A = this chain, B = another copy of it.
Amino acid sequence: MTTIFDQLESNVQSYARSFPVVFDRAEGAAIFDGTGRRYIDFLAGAGTLNYGHNNPHCKAALLDYIDADGIAHGLDMHTRAKAEFLQSFKCHILQPRKMDYRLQFTGPTGTNAVEAAMKVARKVTGRHNIVAFTNGFHGVTLGAAAATGNQHHRGGCGIGLGGITRIPYDGYLGSDLDSTQLLQKMLLDNSSGMDAPAAVIVETVQGEGGLNVASAQWLQALQAICREHGILLIVDDIQAGCGRTGSFFSFEPLGIQPDIVTLSKSLSGMGLPFALVLIKPEYDQWQPGEHNGTFRGNNHAFITAKTALDTYWSSPRFAQDVQRKAALLHERLTAITELAAPGQIHTKGRGMMQGISFTQTQLTDAITTRCFESGLIIETSGPDSEVIKCLCPLTISDADLHAGLDILSACTAEVLSEANLLAAAA
């Protein structure tokens, strides 16, 4: 059955190369191929399926909605589905956190939300420059790609990517450099060559960049600098948000209040295309329709997103359970790192976006390939694919979580052992 893909699908496809089977159905943390084989999914749509495949609450609500001829597509007109989502978002997310944001539904992709966030920041400030960080990933349309660090994606653009000043992320040069000091010095220096920025765009954990974690202290310093210089602080919470780190927004425990937040991926609750930009009211200076797009405000996603909010965010229980699993995950990953000689591998990340970083970067592909053969779907991240990243559904059962980690542990041990034998033989 792969014939039709080989015949017709563009060479651009990527994940299908790592997992060369045809998938058929899925539920929770499990995904099944056409032969019925069950895989535990530690990729979960690259962080899109925080509530699992076909989350039963979302699924039921969506079936009801479609069955009743609920509006599937309404441009950005008012619909009941949108009203109900707004109500839930206000009630379960904004009000409990004492947050005051306007919601912009952009085209239903993360990159579109990032483009909108960057645009409105430029518009509000009248400045064109935006500060982005080493190893940041924000999307591949031209505006977002300029902020993205990855050369694979930048190089594909075929045209100069401008309007960005790149600053080292927290810890980029080890503990020697506090890069907020560099930023501050350049902003205060009239001939630093840094044009006054409209915004800083930052991920609190760099998902694609290799699970690099920014400290609360560094982020607070960053925010203070932004406030001092009239720079808007954009947190790109597309991968780290929606509960992935143990709170709805990744920045909640970090003592910062971004001016703009981008959300997408798991926001719809069921993997449907959806994206949202939160903007402090004073910066919501859009003209009507200035940033538009056919699919902004996906009504099916309003339904499933509202259901996910009602189900998981009306009490602290879900977040607490995520935190519990994150601790468990950390413990087991740490145990795996002890399989190797000190310094060879170590854990990285925060909450339920943790992984293992390898010094010998060629090993990670061997491990993930072996995991897939053993029934675990898991992927790498980082500039050299040197980090194996666990992004399983937050709703995963403890049994599946342990089973997945058992596979990862065994495959890592095997590959490391083989590598050591080879090294000894050489």
Main SS of the interface on chain A? loop
Question: How many chain A residues have a CB neighbour from B under 8 Å?
Answer: 156
B83 touches A16 (CB 8 A): no
Given contacts A14-B292, A173-B177, contact A45 B73 (CB under 8 A): yes
A288 neighbours in B (Cβ, 8 Å): 11-14, 17
- Say if the beta carbon of A193 comes within 8 Å of chain B: yes
Looking at A146-154, A328-336, A363-371, A399-407, the stretch in contact with chain B turns out to be A146-154
Interchain CA distance A5-B227 in the complex, whole Å: 29
Q: Which among A13, A22, A152, A277 has the highest number of chain B CB atoms within 10 Å?
A: A13
Interchain CA distance A152-B159 in the complex, whole Å: 20
Interchain CA distance A276-B103 in the complex, whole Å: 28
A271 touches B383 (CB 8 A): no
- Say if the beta carbon of A314 comes within 8 Å of chain B: no
The contact of A48 among B150, B181, B270, B294, by CB within 8 Å, is B294
Looking at A24-32, A315-323, A342-350, A351-359, the stretch in contact with chain B turns out to be A24-32
A159 touches B11 (CB 8 A): no
The contact of A75 among B15, B115, B195, by CB within 8 Å, is B15
A23 neighbours in B (Cβ, 8 Å): 71, 74, 77-80
What is the copy number of this chain in the assembly?
4
A38 neighbours in B (Cβ, 8 Å): none
A287 touches B152 (CB 8 A): yes
A238 neighbours in B (Cβ, 8 Å): 294
- Say if the beta carbon of A375 comes within 8 Å of chain B: no
The contact of A78 among B20, B63, B144, B293, by CB within 8 Å, is B20
- Say if the beta carbon of A340 comes within 8 Å of chain B: no
A157 touches B293 (CB 8 A): no
* A136-156 interface code vs B (CB 8 A; 1 in, 0 out): 110111111011111111111
Interchain CA distance A134-B132 in the complex, whole Å: 18
The 9 closest A-B CB pairs, nearest first, are A73-B271, A122-B158, A14-B289, A142-B143, A149-B193, A12-B286, A10-B104, A162-B162, A107-B109
